[in-house]
């Protein structure tokens, strides 16, 4: 499995296999005719730091490479140096209260990093520059991010696939994040009853393989490919209209 990420002036290539084995990172500056080469420490004599580990994926946040370590821990590289990290001060624990895996890490602006686990969502605040004041807070324990590549920003909001449908995350003010109380496209009446027209289709998703769902945004539409009717690969594309807050169609 191969995935790319952009870090400063380099493109990183992450490699993993179906058994969960990880391989050293490769990087390319877009110019070197050799192509991708194995990432090495910029200052190998600095014994207080370590080589950035090989991981299945990573993201860039405020001039740092941010990557998963375990089900409840993620790491960050040195500032403006994706090749090295501090294993002691550069590792952040999210929560050990749940065995649900850490699914994704998503920059959200205003120095906030959204941390999606399968059944909960957290955020790291003050996550830029000097990280000595960074802190991790709970956003919700009601829903989580089921598929990392389903998470997409639409303007200042994000849409993602959770176990019970698709949800929207918004920044309610300069400091707070909030997830929608009901799935997108669903409506709640005065008595609290929820009507969700896409619920029958959501029930057809093969959740054992839905973590591989992928999405794209072409304004005003959000597209998400999911496996339905027992398929082990994505075989249906759901189309959500972000302006009308409705599911317009799905293609198989």
Give residue 24's pLDDT.
97
Residue numbers in the chain where pLDDT is lower than 70: 96-98, 173-175
pTM score, two decimals? 0.93
DSSP summary character for residue 6: E
Q: What is the CA radius of gyration of the chain?
A: 19
The C-alpha angle with vertex 124 and arms to 120 and 129, in degrees rounded to 5, equals 160
Q: Which two tokens stand for residue 162?
A: 């959770």
Compute CA distances 129 → 63, 76, 133, whole Å. 8, 12, 10
Give residue 221's pLDDT.
96
Give residue 109's pLDDT.
79
Give residue 173's pLDDT.
64
Give residue 96's pLDDT.
66
Per-residue pLDDT reduced to its tens digit, 133-176: 999 999 999 999 999 999 999 988 999 999 999 999 998 765 67
């Amino acid at each position: 499995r191969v995935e790319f990420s952009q870090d400063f002036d380099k493109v990183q290539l992450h490699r993993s296999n179906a058994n969960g084995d990880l391989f050293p990172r490769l990087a390319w500056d877009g110019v070197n005719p050799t192509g991708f080469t194995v990432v090495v420490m910029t200052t190998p004599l600095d014994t207080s730091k370590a080589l950035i580990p090989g991981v299945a994926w990573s993201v860039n946040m405020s001039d740092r490479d941010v990557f998963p370590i375990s089900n409840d821990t993620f790491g960050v590289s040195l500032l403006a140096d994706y090749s090295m990290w501090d294993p002691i001060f550069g590792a952040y624990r999210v929560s050990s209260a749940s065995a649900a895996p850490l699914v994704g890490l998503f920059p959200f602006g205003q120095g906030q990093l959204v941390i999606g686990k399968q059944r909960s969502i957290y955020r790291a605040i003050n996550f830029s520059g000097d990280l000595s004041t960074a802190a991790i807070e709970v956003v919700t324990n009601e829903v989580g991010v089921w598929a990392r590549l389903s998470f997409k920003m639409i303007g200042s909001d994000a849409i993602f696939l959770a176990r019970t449908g698709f949800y929207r995350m918004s920044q309610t003010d300069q400091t707070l994040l909030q997830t929608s109380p009901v799935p997108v496209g669903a409506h709640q009446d005065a008595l609290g009853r929820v009507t969700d027209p896409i619920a029958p289709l959501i029930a057809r998703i093969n959740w054992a393989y839905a973590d591989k769902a992928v999405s794209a945004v072409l304004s005003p539409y959000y597209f998400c490919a999911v496996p339905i009717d027992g398929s082990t690969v994505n075989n249906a594309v759901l189309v959500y209209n972000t302006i009308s807050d409705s599911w317009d169609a799905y293609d198989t």
